[in-house]
Structure 1
Amino acid sequence: MNLEGYKKQALQKQKEHRKFLESLKKKLPKNLDYIVQETHDEVFEKIDCLQCANCCKTTGPLYTEKDIERISKHLRLKPADFEAKFLRTDEDQDKVLQNLPCFFLNQDNTCSIYDVRPKACREYPHTDRKKIYQINHLMVKNTLICPAAFEFVEKMIKNIEKS
């Protein structure tokens, strides 16, 4: 997978993507959630996250208190010990990983805590979300990191034109 190629394309198309996503907010297609889900399914039939894992290598998720409790229990650590070992508080006062790539990312791009991974990881890249127009800024940002997010926006443009 050519991550640099995707990022270059995403940078070139950022303005176009932003404009398209904003247009969804203005003239909301009746069946938008359905089109989003169809497009998401289409993209993930072709893209395998295990070939990439760029999100795990370059961006860290936010850890909620529920995430911390669930993961620390799984690792048989006290939540405070888990936080001290893996997390830091960022400038927005969010709990995030101390270091990247993610400590839980295995050599083969699998996740060692997949079954208990943070909510942010489970939802990423947010391409199957209802009311997708509520996260336009995030979607544009994700196209720079995630080939699937880039492909999703590209296909959404075509799929909306067809509808």
Structure 2
Amino acid sequence: MDLKRFKRNAMRNKTKLVTFLQKLDEIVPEDMPELVAEADKAVWNEVDCLACANCCKTMTPTWNRTDVIRISKHLDMKPKEFIEKYLFKEEDTGDWVNKSVPCQFLDLTTNKCSVYEFRPKDCREFPHHNKKPFDLYNDTFVGNVTRCPATYLLVSKLEKKVREEYEW
């Protein structure tokens, strides 16, 4: 995964893709679920998340109580100790997030997560392409289009398809 190239392309095309996602808030093709499924399938033939880990390097997941209990148990820690060591509560959202970025559980030499089998729900669901209806998560995709190669490719493919085949 060439992250430098991805970042260059994502920044170059960000305005176009964000504009597309914002317009998608107003106009949604009837067959959007099918368009998303087709584009998403193509994306995963091109992107290997486990070879990338850019999300772990540049973002923090939100942690729910179940995540904290599961991972602290795996690490043989009390949940309170886990929170004190690794997390803080955001004032504006009240969400528990990592104290540090990159993620404390990412091994930077291998791009592998040291708690992968126990990772938070937010990490398991990332990059959230399967959320339905897709257009209700445009704000998520706006934020991720420059951070996640899979989201960048998905939105790029959707934008191209909609522009070519629909009155837009």
Q: Which amino acid aligns with 2:105?
A: F
Q: Gaps spanning 5+ residues in structure 1: where?
A: none
Distance 1:23 1:49 in 2: 28
Inter-partner Cα distance in structure 2 for 1:108 and 1:162: 42
User: Corresponding residue for 1:126?
Assistant: 128
* Residue 96 of structure 1: how far off its partner (Å): 1.0
Q: Which range moved further: 146-155 or 71-80? A: 71-80
Query: Are 2:131 and 2:137, in contact at CA under 8 Å, matched by a contact in 1?
Result: no
Contact 1:7/1:143 (CA < 8 Å) preserved in 2? Answer: no
Greater mean deviation of Cα atoms: 92-101 or 148-157: 92-101
- Equivalent positions of 1:20-59 (< 5 A) are 20-59=20-59
Change (3 A) 1:28 1:71: same
Shift of 1:79: 0.9
Q: Distance in 1 between matches of 2:102 and 2:119?
A: 15
Task: Give the match for residue 99 of structure 2.
Answer: 98
Is the 8 Å Cα contact of residues 71 and 116 (structure 1) preserved in structure 2? yes
Give the aligned partner of residue 83 of structure 1: 83
Q: Identify the residue that residue 117 of structure 2 maps to in structure 1.
A: 115
- The residue type paired with residue 155 of structure 2 is V
Q: Distance in 1 between matches of 2:125 and 2:165?
A: 27
User: SS state of the match for residue 157, structure 1?
Assistant: helix
Secondary structure at the aligned position of 1:45 is classed as: coil
Q: TM-score scaled to structure 1, two decimals?
A: 0.89
Residues matched between the structures, number:
163
On the 8 A contact 2:25/2:138 being kept in 1, the answer is: no
| Comparing 124-133 and 40-49, the one that deviates more | 124-133
CA-atom RMSD in angstroms: 1.8
Cα offset, 1:162, TM superposition:
4.0
Question: Equivalent pairs: percent with the same residue?
Answer: 40
> What is the letter of the counterpart of residue 98 of structure 1?
K
One-letter amino acid of the counterpart of residue 113, structure 1: V
Distance 2:18 2:76 in 1: 43
